[in-house]
Amino acid sequence: MKEVNPIITLLTDFGLKDEYVGVMKGVILSINSSVRIVDLTHNITRHDIAHAALAISASFRYFPKGSIHVIVVDPGVGGRRKVICLKKEGHFFIAPDNGVLSLVVQDEKVDEICAVTNEQYFLKPVSNTFHGRDVFAPVAAYLSKGGEIRHMGKKILLSDIVTLDIAAPFVSSAHELVGNVISIDHFGNLITSIDQEAFERFRQEEGVKDIVISLGRFNIKTISRSYDSVKIGSPVVIFGSRNLLEISINQADAGTYFKARVGQTVKVKSVTKHKSR
């Protein structure tokens, strides 16, 4: 294999209290000491596959092509779930087959996928509880040395992998754009499924001018450009860096303020009469 030195990113729910992340890095560097390792995040909510799916989808395109993205949010470790290796847009992904790549593949455009089964690339023995160390890390390291997906295991189809049922925003019969909270970030911002494209299409097709955003019994008028568009401690709605609608509190925790939860419904409504049909 021709040795190359791409980037390997690590995204896990391990946190940093224990040695798990460091050990994965040790395995990678033992196989390819020249590789560059980037900690994308290790603070994914424990076992929260949807949170990890959002994080990797929002991040991978900011890395150079050829980067290898290792995702270990894996509540089914040691069970019947597959480990998959996937190539898309020049990027490689190594992940459990539990839906964590749902947003990466939602456009159904993938170059290559395989089920990782070739034990030649695993550490021995393989633990039933730490595939991050014994499977994901060494496979990523071998890929970083010029290995090919086809050597890692049997080719599979996109239809063979697990995807999450992540509902797209929709316009209801009441002429409201309906989405939900899909993540609550470190700052307590409520990240919704309503993207800017869907919002603009809703406004255009429904003839909406003035809007109100509803979360439970709370209503917030207008969308702002920045958090400091309102007073400290006040609610604010913006489109964040992912181009997703965020409900926030300026310099405070919106999750606590609204007593919000992932999955909660968010609605964008017109405060003027919608156009006649």
Per-residue pLDDT of the chain (277 residues; tens, 9 = 90+): 444 568 999 999 999 999 999 999 999 999 999 999 999 999 999 999 999 999 999 999 999 999 999 999 999 998 999 999 999 999 999 999 999 999 999 889 999 999 999 999 999 999 999 999 999 999 999 999 998 999 999 999 999 999 998 778 999 999 999 999 998 998 999 999 999 999 999 989 888 888 999 999 999 988 999 999 999 999 999 999 999 999 999 999 999 999 999 889 999 998 865 444 4
| Same-domain check for residues 186 and 156 | no
Q: Confirm whether 151 is domain-assigned.
A: yes
Any domain includes 202: yes
Q: Is 51 left (phi over 0), alpha (psi -120 to 50) or beta?
A: alpha
Residue 185 belongs to a domain with what CATH number? 2.40.30.90
CB burial string 124-141: b at 16+ within 10 A, e below: eeeeeebbbbbbbbbbbb
209 and 74 share one domain: no
pLDDT of residue 3: 46
CB count in 10 Å sphere of residue 87? 17
Tokens 């709605």 map to which residue?
A: 237
Length of the chain, in residues = 277
133 lies in the same domain as 26: yes
The pLDDT, as a whole number, for residue 272 is 66
Whether residue 201 sits in one domain with residue 112: no
Domain with 100 in it: 7-160
Do 75 and 31 lie in one domain? The reply is yes
Q: Could you say which of 160, 186, 217 is where a domain stops?
A: 160
Does any domain span residue 2? Answer: no
Tell me: do 106 and 27 sit in the same domain: yes
Note whether residue 165 is domain-resident. no
DSSP the chain: ------EEEEEES--SSSSHHHHHHHHHHHH-TT-EEEEEES-SPTT-HHHHHHHHHHHGGGS-TT-EEEEE--TTTTSSPPEEEEEETTEEEEEESSSTTTTTTTT---SEEEE---GGGS-SSPPSS-HIIIIIHHHHHHHHTT--GGGTS-B--GGGS-----PPPEE-TTS-EEEEEEEE-TT--EEEEEEHHHHHHHHHHHT--SEEEEETTEEEES--SSGGGS-TT-EEEEE-TTSEEEEEETTB-HHHHTT--TT-EEEEEESSPPPP-
**Cα–Cα distance for residue pair 86/107, rounded to 1 Å:** 14
CB atoms near residue 1 (< 10 Å): 11
User: Do residues 189 and 156 share a domain?
Assistant: no
Q: Do 184 and 248 lie in a common domain?
A: yes
Task: Say whether both 107 and 40 belong to one domain.
Answer: yes
Could you tell me if 104 and 237 lie in one domain? no
**Structure confidence at residue 222 (pLDDT):** 87
Question: Which of 160, 179, 201 is at the close of a domain?
Answer: 160
How many domains does the chain contain in total? 2
Same-domain check for residues 34 and 156: yes
* Residues 151, 22 share a domain: yes
In a domain, 277, yes or no: no
Which residue among 160, 180, 210 closes a domain?
A: 160
pLDDT at 4: 56
